[in-house]
Amino acid sequence: MKKLIDIIEGLEILKSIGILDHISVDSIVFDSRKVVPGALFVATRGTQVDGHEYIDTSIEMGAKVIMCERIPEVRLEGVNYIEVRNSQYALGIIASNFYDRPSENLQVIGITGTNGKTSCASMLFNLFTGLGYKVGLLSTIQIRIGEEIIQATHTTPDAISIQKSMQYMVDKACTYCFMEVSSHAIDQDRIAGIQFRGGVFTNITHDHLDYHQTFQNYLQAKKKFFDNLPNTAFTISNLDDKNGKVMQQNTKAKRKTMAMHTMADYTIKIMEASMNHMLVKIGDHDIHLKVVGEFNAYNALTSYAVAIELGINKEDALLQLSKLEPVEGRIDLVLVKNTKVKGIVDYAHTPDAVEKLLVEIGKINKEGKLITVIGCGGNRDKEKRPIMAKLAAKYSDRVILTSDNPRNENPKDIIDEMKSGLNITDIKKTLVVIDRAEAVKTACLLASGEDVIALVGKGHEKYQEIKGEKFPFDDKLCLKENLELITEE
C-alpha cells in the first residue's frame, strides 16, 4: 500500500478531481480484468484496445483512482480522477514510484537493436555473475534474478512488471540489471521511470514494419531511447551499422563506439574460426571464445565494452568472456555421437539475421552441404517472408520451408508468400514440409557426411503457437532426436 501523493510524485498532472492527499492505493493496474478493490486503474491506449472504454468496469470492480488522458463527463462520487497527457508514460512513472524507484539502486544497462539484444544481455549477465556480482536479467528468453529463473513472455515486459522485477532484484541484493529494450517498449513508453546507467545500440535492419509501418518510424523509435538518456549515462553504438552515428546524434549521455570494420573506441577482429570456437583480437588482446560467427564477435565486443565502461578491469573482463558458453538458441550447436552431421539451432527471424547466420555457417562449413529449415511467424511483418526464403535459397544447398509459429494464419499461406521470393533455380532445391517436426526429420534424412542442418527461426522457444494455443515444441530436442537416428555407413 502506498499513498497516492507519493505515487504521483514527478508526474505532470493536467487536471484532477477528488482529494489526492489522504488516499492510499493497494495496487496499480492497466488491465481492467485485474482490478481489485483499492486499485489505481490507468486507462492506456493500446494497439487493439483503448482502456478508457473500461473505466466504468474498473470502478465497478473497486478501483478508487482513475488515471486517464480524458476524464469522463459522467463521474461517480467517491472516485478520484487524474488527467495526464500520456497514460502510457504516466504508468511507467507511477509504477516506478510505487515500487520505490528500484532502478536508482541498480546499474541498469539497456540494449536495443534488431539483432543481438538477447545474446548481449545474456552474455553480460553471465560475465558479471562470473565476476562475483549478483545480477538481474530481463530478456526474451527469461527473467533472472541471481540464480532464480522466470520464463519471459515479451522482449520487454509491461511497465508494472519491469518495476516489480527490478524491486525484487534490489531486494535480492542485485547491483546490475541487463535488459533488452525493444522498439515496441520504447514507442509505448514501457521503459518510462527507469534510470539507465547505459544504453547499447547493436544494429538496425528490416523488422517490425507491421507495427511501425515505415523503417523511419522504426529507426526513430530506437533513437528515442538514446535521446532520453541523461548525462550521467553512457552509450555504446555500433559504427559498422550506417545508423550507428544517428543513434547518438542527440543524446546527452557519454558517447562510445565499437566496430569490427572501422575505427572505434572498442574494436574486434576474428583471427581463426571453427564450428565451436574462434580466436579474436579485442583491442590488443587475443582471446579464445566458445561462441562462433561474426555477429557473436560483435556481441562479445559489446559485452566487453559495457564491462569496461562500468569500471571492470580489462583482464578480468577478457577472462570471463573466454569462459562464456553460447546463449541458448543462438547459433546453438547440436552434436550426436553416431554421425558427423552437425545441427545448428538459431533464433534468426529477420532477413539480416538469417543472412548473417547462413553466411557464417558457410565460412566455417568447408566440407559438407548446408540444409536450411526455415519458416516465418504468422500475424507478423509479411514483407520479410519472400526475402527470408530468397536468402535461405541463396546461401543453402537445400531448403525446407515449414511452419514457424503460424498463430492465426494458415501455415500454407505463409509458405506460399515465402515461395513468392524464389526463382526457378531456387525452387529446384526447395522442399515444402508444413509440419515442423516432419521438416526436421526430412532434413536429417537428406543429410550425410559433414553436412550442416540449420534450424532457423524459433531458437530457444519451447512451444509452437497455433490458433491461440501454445503446443510443446523444442527445436533443439527435435533436431537432436532425429540426428540420433542417422546411421553412418
Side chain identity, residue 467: K
Range from 122-131, 198-207, 231-240, 351-360 carrying the lowest mean pLDDT: 198-207
Q: For residues 215 and 198, what is the distance between their CA atoms, to the nearest angstrom? A: 25
Domain around 404: 332-483
Give the rounded percent of residues in the chain with a pLDDT score beyond 90: 80
What pLDDT was estimated at residue 477? 97
Q: Domain check: are 107 and 167 in the same one?
A: yes
- C-alpha cell recorded at residue 480: 537432436
Q: Domain check: are 156 and 207 in the same one?
A: yes
What pLDDT was estimated at residue 454? 98
What pLDDT was estimated at residue 488? 54
What pLDDT was estimated at residue 463? 93
The answer on pLDDT for 216 being more than 50 is: yes
Q: Domain check: are 195 and 311 in the same one?
A: yes
Q: Domain check: are 313 and 349 in the same one?
A: no
Phi, psi of 386 (to 5 degrees): -65, -30
| The last residue of a domain, from among 323, 349, 371 | 323
Q: Domain check: are 76 and 145 in the same one?
A: no
The answer on pLDDT for 489 being more than 50 is: no
pTM of the model: 0.83
The answer on pLDDT for 371 being more than 80 is: yes
Residue 325 DSSP one-character state: P
Q: What is the mean pLDDT of residues 312-340?
A: 93
What pLDDT was estimated at residue 330? 85
Side chain identity, residue 414: I
What pLDDT was estimated at residue 211? 56
Q: Domain check: are 257 and 318 in the same one?
A: yes
The answer on pLDDT for 392 being more than 90 is: yes
| The last residue of a domain, from among 299, 323, 347 | 323
DSSP one-letter string for 346-399? E---SHHHHHHHHHHHHHH--SS-EEEEE---TTS-STHHHHHHHHHHHH-SEE
Number of structural domains, the chain?
Answer: 3
For residue 184, what pLDDT band results from cuts at 50, 70 and 90? confident
Q: Domain check: are 91 and 191 in the same one?
A: no
Beta bridge partners of 452: 342, 370
What pLDDT was estimated at residue 433? 98
Q: What is the mean pLDDT of residues 127-149?
A: 92
Q: Domain check: are 109 and 94 in the same one?
A: no
Q: What is the 3-state secondary structure (H, E, C) of 39-73?
A: EEEECCECCCCEHHHHHHHHHHCCCCEEEECCCCC
Q: What is the mean pLDDT of residues 422-444?
A: 98
What pLDDT was estimated at residue 154? 59
Q: Domain check: are 189 and 271 in the same one?
A: yes
Q: Give the residue from 160, 148, 1 showing the smallest Cα distance to 93.
A: 160
Instruction: Return the biggest CA–CA distance within the chain.
Output: 82
The answer on pLDDT for 471 being more than 80 is: yes
Q: Domain check: are 376 and 433 in the same one?
A: yes
For residue 381, what pLDDT band results from cuts at 50, 70 and 90? confident
Q: For residues 67 and 77, what is the distance between their CA atoms, to the nearest angstrom? A: 16
How high does pLDDT run on average in the chain? Answer: 93
| The last residue of a domain, from among 98, 120, 139 | 98
Q: Domain check: are 393 and 470 in the same one?
A: yes
Q: What is the mean pLDDT of residues 358-366?
A: 91
Q: What is the mean pLDDT of residues 394-412?
A: 97
Q: Domain check: are 308 and 343 in the same one?
A: no
Q: What is the mean pLDDT of residues 47-64?
A: 92
What pLDDT was estimated at residue 207? 54
Q: Is residue 378 a contact partner of residue 457, using CB atoms and an 8 Å limit?
A: no
Residue 421, classed as helix, strand or coil, is coil
For residue 209, what pLDDT band results from cuts at 50, 70 and 90? low
* CA atoms lying within 13 Å on the CB side of residue 474: 10
Residue 231, classed as helix, strand or coil, is coil
Helix axes 384-395, 411-419, angle to 10 degrees: 60
Q: Give the residue from 236, 240, 178 showing the smallest Cα distance to 204.
A: 240
